[in-house]
Chains A and B, each alone.
Chain A
Amino acid sequence: MTIAEFLSDYTLQNVALGAAILGVVSGVLGSFAVLRQQSLVGDALSHAALPGVCLGFMVAGTRDLGAIMAGALLTGGLAALTILALTRLSRLKTDAAIGISLSVFFALGVVLLTVIQGSGGASQAGLETFLFGQAAAILRSDLWVMGGIMVAALAVVLALWKEFKLITFDPTFARTLGLPVTVLEVALTVMVALAVVVGLQMVGVVLMAAMVIAPAVAARQWTRRLEHMVVLSALIGMVSGVTGAVISALRRGLPTGPLIVLAASAIVLVSILFAPGRGVVWDALARARERRSLRGRQVLTTLLQLAREHGDPEYPAEQGMLDAYHRLGTRAVLDRLAARGLVTAAAHMPGEGGHWILTPTGQAEAQRLSAEIDGARG
């Protein structure tokens, strides 16, 4: 297959477009969920979509995406309400409430799935693809539904941008301003359910939580501004969606959901390790550099002290003594100091270890450091 054929392939176009829509919606709405520490609510809502998928199918009688999406949105909303009721009206904590809602709704979905299988009809086979997603099953008409949801969700986010931003970062202040905080919070949670619904066909109910969380976490590493984070998160969601979906379309039997999630996870890993300013790697490098420089300064002041004690500015200090004093091998440190022209190796008797002397520049530098330390003490 040539690249031109590949790009004009009808199924592939559908798949890529669907994945892009999914990535944008989950990236944008996931940003708010992650910042509000509601990531695992997303997990519960995505598992809770399963009974809705079954109900939608049972009501419509066919694999009609509109009915299935409506059902998923309904049970997702019910699951969110269950979490709210359990935490507000009983002594259960959030984590238990989320776990209960997730597992019991999923169990209901499993039961309904077998009800549908029991009632016969070959068409029920299609429902299992909603567990892990199957990109190839996407139709052009499905894209219209998904695209419609995307436009609606983005319009709501744009229209309520200021409000959403405020309740994300400072809900108490929002309340004192007289904003309907509870309504807005419910709206944001329902929007997460919407993102889940859009991802049903591509990623499936089991892994949709990752698509809500991963792009937002990755985007968060690169920026401190919500505006940038939301846009970046949408882009990352889109890239991982398209990457995973296209790979799964290349070979038969590769599940789309896991591939998309792995693509998103890879981006998260790279972001956490290498994002400028925040990356773990840069942090570790900076710390190592700091440690090296500190050791250099320590050895330099030790040499100065020894020189002062012996009344000889060019006192040759023995390597072994320096090692023992600092409880580590100072050879590498001394080599680095020598390279900077601060110390120099002294001639020594055969059989003895190396000896080191401060150069005039080294003496000046060591005196400056020691004065600095005394200044800080005094």
Chain B
Amino acid sequence: MLQDAFDNPGLMIVATGMAVGAAAALIGPFLVLRRNSMLSDAISHSIVFGIVTVWLLTGFASGPVQIAGAALTGVLTVFLTEALARSGRVKDDAAIGLVFPALFSAGVLLLNLYARDVHIDAHAVLLGEIGFVWLNTLEVAGYHVPQSLVWMGTMLAVNAGFVALFWKELKLATFDPVLAHAFGLRPRALFYGLLFLTSCTAVAAFDSVGAILFIAFVIVPPSTAYLLTDRPLTMVLLGVAMSAISSVAGYWLAVLWDVSIGGMMALMTGCFLAAAFLFGPRYGVIAGLRRRARQALENEARALVVHLMTHEKGAERHEENVAEALRTHLGWTRARSKAVLSRSLGLGLVLRKGNALSLTDQGRVEAEALLEPWRRGG
């Protein structure tokens, strides 16, 4: 029964994709919030060197030895980058851009020199082979389970455990490292632990999505969630959910159009980001434009009540406090006048009788507050 599920290639591909996405999206929020997203780029490139070295030394192409060994290269990259930046000779961003290409190049070169006919070729290094994850299986509790799924599932569990266990500490170290340090929480050690797990996850995900697409799973879903919420817990959960949906949708579209599965999954995370960027209810571009338009209109409604108040006692009020005056005296276009007037009426600031405009009680309060703010509350 269960074995049928493990023998279903499509199901296994989607499950692996979801595991990659969820494991990466658990860690990603902390990198994005700490403004260290590009470390995931550095790590995922330079683990290639670690993978090849460990494979040449031990013969393990996957499994715990490979994951932990190759992940050390990821941590080494971060360490070298920090050392280079601390030396004061190189800026932070250039330091990242110097270390990982060197390690990545060394990895690719070793691959070309010693592993020409092995399954890890340069192409798979970059793009992964998620379409073939079901080929290599491992026996777990009597079932044949795809190897990639086993290791990705393990990493997912480890990451979830780490984040759950250190949730409070991670939050504090991310938002206020100085305070965390003062509490004796060792934010740097925590951060290095996080980066070690990032590296482990990158190595485990390497077979399925390769070195570069992994970056998309780490950075994009948490960034999307960041555009939608202010709460860290919501951010993590939303990121995980969006990764999972991207995997399913990506697989479906990839099969439909007969294109790269890993690429399509990563591309889907980008589609979610674009949607959140444009249509996000609070931080989206469109919401921002609408908010600004509404505020502009309300400001002009305030200008109108002040105008009405200034002239309501004088003899000129038959000329000033009429609908046409909005165009002739305040200089608004016809459409603008109409919009401001209907907004003011809607807000209950102004009354209209035929052409004549007068203030409601609420409108008078508003105008007084603007003209003579010192009286407010007095």
- The chain A residues found within 8 Å of chain B, CB to CB, are 34, 37-40, 42-43, 47, 86, 89-96, 98-100, 102-104, 106-111, 113-115, 118, 128, 131-132, 206-207, 209-210, 212-214, 216-217, 220-221, 253-255, 257-259, 261-262, 265, 268, 272, 278, 280
Contacts and interface: CB of A to CB of B under 8 A. Distances in A.
B361 interface: no
Contacts of B87: 272, 280
B215 A99 contact: yes
Question: Which A-B residue pairs are the 3 nearest by beta carbons?
Answer: A110-B263, A104-B270, A210-B101
Interface stretch (B61-69, B103-111, B155-163, B310-318): B103-111
Contact of B126 (A100, A131, A210, A280): A131
Contacts of A96: 32, 35, 37, 219, 223, 226
Given A37-B91, A104-B273, A111 B259 contact: yes
A99 B44 CA distance: 12
A103 B246 CA distance: 14
Contacts of B262: 107, 110
A92 B220 CA distance: 11
Nearest to A206: B126
SS of B interface (majority)? helix
22 contacts: A37-B94, A39-B96, A40-B41, A89-B277, A96-B226, A102-B41, A103-B212, A103-B213, A110-B266, A111-B263, A113-B260, A114-B263, A210-B101, A210-B105, A213-B101, A217-B94, A254-B112, A259-B105, A261-B105, A262-B102, A262-B106, A272-B84
Interface in B217-269: 218-220, 223, 226-227, 254, 257-260, 262-264, 266-267, 269
Contacts of A207: 101, 104-105
Contact of B109 (A100, A216, A221, A259): A259
A132 B111 CA distance: 13
Given A114-B260, A221-B89, A213 B109 contact: no
A122 B265 CA distance: 27
Contacts of A216: 94
Contacts, number: 194
Given A39-B94, A214-B98, A272-B90, 10 more contacts: A96-B226, A100-B220, A108-B270, A111-B267, A206-B45, A206-B126, A207-B101, A210-B105, A254-B113, A278-B89
Contact of B105 (A100, A217, A265, A280): A265
A95 B36 contact: yes
Given A43-B97, A107-B270, A214-B98, A131 B90 contact: no
B191 interface: no
A93 B37 CA distance: 9
Interface in B161-211: none
B283 A100 contact: no
Contacts of B263: 107-111, 113-114
A184 B31 CA distance: 32
B344 to A, nearest CB: 31
Given A100-B273, A107-B270, A262-B102, A40 B93 contact: yes
Interface SS of A by simple majority: helix
Interface in B63-77: none
A116 B123 CA distance: 16
A220 B84 CA distance: 14
A209 B112 CA distance: 21
A99 B260 contact: no
B15 interface: no
A104 B267 CA distance: 6
Contact of B266 (A103, A212, A278): A103
Of B32, B93, B269, B277, most buried by chain A (CB within 10 Å of CB) is B93
A107 B220 CA distance: 12
Nearest to A214: B98
Given A92-B223, A103-B212, A253-B116, A40 B38 contact: yes
A14 to B, nearest CB: 22
B226 to A, nearest CB: 7
Given A92-B227, A95-B36, A98-B37, A258 B105 contact: yes
A265 B103 CA distance: 10
Nearest to A253: B112
A86 B277 CA distance: 8
A146 B215 CA distance: 31
Interface in B291-317: none
Nearest to A110: B263
B46 interface: no
Contacts of A258: 104-106, 108-109, 112
A34 B97 CA distance: 10
Contact of A265 (B90, B94, B101, B213): B101
Contacts of A113: 260, 263
B89 A107 contact: no
Nearest to B285: A89
